[in-house]
Chains A and B, each alone.
Chain A
Amino acid sequence: MGQSASSRLTDSPPAVVGGISAVTDYTADLPDDCLALVFQSLGSGDRKRCSLVCRRWLAVEGWSRLRLSLDARAALLDVFPAIFARFDAVSRLTLRCSRRTDSIGDEGLALVAAHCPNLASLKLRACGALTDAGMAAVARYCSGLRKLSVDSCAFGAKGVDAVLRGCPLLEELSIKRLRGLHDPSATADLIAGAASLRSVCLKDLYNAQCFAPLIAGCPNLKTLKLIRCSGDWDPLLKNMAARVPGVVEIHLERLQVTDSGLAALSVCVDLEVLRLVKTPECTDAGIAAVADRCALLRKVHIDGWRANRIGDEGLQALARRCADLQELVLIGVNPTSRTLELMASNCRSLEHLALCGSDTFGDSEVACIASKCAALKKLCIKGCPISDQGIEALAAGCPKLVKVKVKRCPGVTQECADRLAGSRNGKLAVKVEADEGSAAVQQAEGTVVFGEFGIAEDTGGGERPRLASVDRAGGAGTLSSKSRRTARKKRTGFFATRRNLVASALRRWSNGSSYSRHSHR
């Protein structure tokens, strides 16, 4: 931590000028609200250090902290009173424990909930000691909750149900690795819909099917992500088609879904984002059915798992029908040059293109992209049979290109990449990474987040789905994208406070008691 960095003192300007101590508190005249605004732009480590500066900073940092992340080991219960005496405005709380440590229990969660009536977002990570009763307490005290995210906890569907019933504003629900869903009797009579829900994510769940009636009963649902959840999901997709027509984003990964499910899904004509990852039963026919009706599709990610069941036919349907396509990621799919040509000529706004593990994507295909994709900004090629010749072809085309990433393409040399980058006056970044070779690296890379495209890319190849398995990788990736999002939220979340600030400034102003600020110059 930074406290130990006092040796860096020499970096800052001297406080002693001409032998006379010139200590002036520059912040003395800064209103608390402004100080709080500064704190809003700092991360939690910096905030923690700021709180140690002086009493005033400690107090301001305390009441202005909206977001708190606590280690939820059982002993946290002892320090709760002190924590919530200092941070009394928390609206976004994360309680994170590790699986090997005893977490806080229901009593603790109830205490937290009672102290945070304005809680808008609650994240629970690996809090193994929580049961449905703890979640019921959340539902009782935090009726304004908008987001619930649960990962690696042990309570059951009743706990989720209690929150859904008690929090009528809940918009986002994310359930990952929840271990208490086994008991079929405990999943009976669950709430069958919530008008407020806009986003549902279910990941690595055994018996996730118990939430199917809920999903089908959310008329305002926009985003649905189902990842590695066991069971046949076609019935849900068919059910949704009739009742949840406004879905905009759908992510199906390692699921049992077939073409008939996709065909049903095509009723959702507002669909803009489709991610179909390792769903071995989906074929060209299913993709074509979706493409045929969902003409608004902007982002499509397909991981065909090298099964060759999705190929030219489905992709050509996309190319013909979805002219607004901006982002296309193809992994383990082998499109022919004829298909790529059609795609490049019809989808004029294609900005992001990624091909990974495509045996058919060679130099002539790159040349085709170069000559036809005028809007392309980012191109990513991994494990494809391309060479320097293909990279050279890019130099002549794609005028808007800003980033090219090449990985595991032995035919491409660093010199060639440098030449390409050099040809664009610094406007284009070209990155070439060689074949790491080692099996461990390959394995780890299997879930490396597909950077700018924001998808967990799995190039592991032969690995079969392990449904309801616990703790697959990918956590790091999703975390990083999340923290970026939180940073943004932190900035926008300040408007409320600012209003108070202006109100108080005006009050002081109109009272004629203009700030008595001692000049510090």
Chain B
Amino acid sequence: MSEGTKEPDGGEEKVVLKTHDGQEFTVDMATANQSGTLKNLLSEVGSSSNNPQVIPLPSSITSRVLGKVVEYCQRHAAGGGRRGGMQALEQFDEELVELDKDMLLDVTYAAAFLDVPRLLDLTSQAVADAIKNMSVEEVRHYFGVVSDFTEEEEKVIRSECPWAFE
């Protein structure tokens, strides 16, 4: 299952993920391997059950956010063969990304940082779905983005050969 370490007693290898706010998440290797970043790292340093590797995470990934990512990884490490197969897994994914916009963006960031491709797909799709068909003003409003265009600039971009883009 893991790459790089051998457990003589066959005990399950664990790794500890430590968030900036001090919370620790102990996960098995199958879960950790869902993250490309952790998988790479662990293939170099290794980890074991008696002496698990502790990996500190950047401050931007809070325990609440990491909780979501770990939930996703655990479920997907188990795969579709359990608890109702692929259909249940898809439903799990769908429900997982039903989040507030700030939480959704944070999980997106964490999925990117930890390189969990399918989760990143899910969250960015969810963000995209949220702003689909919104006007420019609505998107700004929704994310609290303040336009830094001058009035002039915006006019130029808005009028830039409107026929050129289909």
Point out residues on A near B: beta carbons under 8 Å: 2-6, 8-9, 11-13, 15, 22-27, 29-31, 33-34, 37-42, 44, 46, 48-58, 68-71, 73, 75-76, 79, 82-83, 94, 96, 491, 495, 498, 501-502, 505-506, 509, 514-517, 520-521
Whether, in the assembled complex, B85 has its beta carbon less than 8 Å from a beta carbon of chain A, the answer is: no
Contact of A52 with B109 in the complex, beta carbons under 8 Å: no
Point out residues on B near A: beta carbons under 8 Å: 20, 36-37, 40, 58-60, 101-102, 105, 108-109, 112-113, 115, 117, 120-121, 124-125, 127-129, 131-149, 154, 157-158, 160-161, 163-166
Distance between B152 CB and nearest chain A CB, rounded to angstroms: 13
A–B Cβ pairs within 8 angstroms, 15 of them: A8-B138, A27-B105, A29-B109, A31-B112, A34-B120, A37-B108, A37-B112, A38-B108, A38-B131, A40-B124, A48-B165, A52-B157, A54-B145, A70-B165, A502-B112
Contact of A29 with B60 in the complex, beta carbons under 8 Å: yes
A189 to B124: give the CA distance in the assembly, Å. 51
Distance between B94 CB and nearest chain A CB, rounded to angstroms: 15
Contact of B135 with A49 in the complex, beta carbons under 8 Å: yes
Lowest 5 A-B CB distances belong to which pairs?
A41-B128, A514-B58, A517-B60, A37-B124, A5-B135
Contact of A25 with B115 in the complex, beta carbons under 8 Å: no
Distance between A165 CB and nearest chain B CB, rounded to angstroms: 31
Instruction: Determine the chain B residues whose CB is within 8 A of the CB of A9 once the complex forms.
Output: 135, 137-138, 141
Instruction: Determine the chain A residues whose CB is within 8 A of the CB of B59 once the complex forms.
Output: 514-517
Nearest A-chain residue to B154, judged by Cβ? A52
Instruction: Determine the chain A residues whose CB is within 8 A of the CB of B101 once the complex forms.
Output: 26
A59 to B90: give the CA distance in the assembly, Å. 34
Nearest A-chain residue to B111, judged by Cβ? A34
Nearest B-chain residue to A24, judged by Cβ? B144
Interface of B is mostly: helix
Instruction: Determine the chain A residues whose CB is within 8 A of the CB of B149 once the complex forms.
Output: 52, 54-55
Selected contact of A33 from candidates B112, B121, B140, CB within 8 Å: B112
Contact of B164 with A51 in the complex, beta carbons under 8 Å: no
Contact of A25 with B133 in the complex, beta carbons under 8 Å: no
Also in contact, A79 and B161, with CB within 8 A (given A31-B112, A57-B145, A71-B166) = yes
Nearest B-chain residue to A27, judged by Cβ? B143
Selected contact of A30 from candidates B108, B138, B161, CB within 8 Å: B108
B60, B133, B136, B157: most-surrounded residue (chain A CB, <10 A):
B136
Instruction: Determine the chain B residues whose CB is within 8 A of the CB of A42 once the complex forms.
Output: 128, 131-132
Nearest B-chain residue to A45, judged by Cβ? B133
Starting from the known contacts A30-B108, A46-B132, A520-B102, 12 additional A-B residue pairs (CB-CB under 8 Å) come to: A12-B142, A15-B144, A23-B146, A26-B143, A37-B124, A46-B134, A48-B165, A52-B154, A71-B166, A96-B166, A502-B115, A514-B59
Instruction: Determine the chain B residues whose CB is within 8 A of the CB of A40 once the complex forms.
Output: 124, 128
Contact of A71 with B164 in the complex, beta carbons under 8 Å: yes
Selected contact of B124 from candidates A2, A38, A48, A83, CB within 8 Å: A38
Instruction: Determine the chain A residues whose CB is within 8 A of the CB of B105 once the complex forms.
Output: 26-27, 29-30, 34
Contact of B163 with A34 in the complex, beta carbons under 8 Å: no
Instruction: Determine the chain B residues whose CB is within 8 A of the CB of A506 once the complex forms.
Output: 37, 40
A1 to B121: give the CA distance in the assembly, Å. 27
Instruction: Determine the chain A residues whose CB is within 8 A of the CB of B102 once the complex forms.
Output: 26, 520-521
Contact of A23 with B58 in the complex, beta carbons under 8 Å: no
Contact of A502 with B132 in the complex, beta carbons under 8 Å: no
Nearest B-chain residue to A39, judged by Cβ? B128
Distance between A29 CB and nearest chain B CB, rounded to angstroms: 6
Nearest A-chain residue to B163, judged by Cβ? A71
A25 to B141: give the CA distance in the assembly, Å. 9
Instruction: Determine the chain A residues whose CB is within 8 A of the CB of B148 once the complex forms.
Output: 54-56
Distance between A297 CB and nearest chain B CB, rounded to angstroms: 29
A458 to B154: give the CA distance in the assembly, Å. 49
B101, B115, B133, B143: most-surrounded residue (chain A CB, <10 A):
B143
Distance between A90 CB and nearest chain B CB, rounded to angstroms: 12
Nearest A-chain residue to B20, judged by Cβ? A514
Instruction: Determine the chain A residues whose CB is within 8 A of the CB of B163 once the complex forms.
Output: 71, 73
A447 to B136: give the CA distance in the assembly, Å. 38
Also in contact, A52 and B144, with CB within 8 A (given A505-B113, A514-B59) = no
Instruction: Determine the chain A residues whose CB is within 8 A of the CB of B145 once the complex forms.
Output: 25-27, 53-54, 57
Distance between A504 CB and nearest chain B CB, rounded to angstroms: 10
Contact of A6 with B108 in the complex, beta carbons under 8 Å: no
Instruction: Determine the chain B residues whose CB is within 8 A of the CB of A54 once the complex forms.
Output: 140, 145-149
Nearest B-chain residue to A82, judged by Cβ? B160
A22, A33, A44, A502: most-surrounded residue (chain B CB, <10 A):
A502
Also in contact, A6 and B165, with CB within 8 A (given A46-B131, A498-B120) = no
Nearest A-chain residue to B59, judged by Cβ? A514
Contact of B136 with A52 in the complex, beta carbons under 8 Å: yes
Nearest A-chain residue to B102, judged by Cβ? A26
Distance between A112 CB and nearest chain B CB, rounded to angstroms: 12
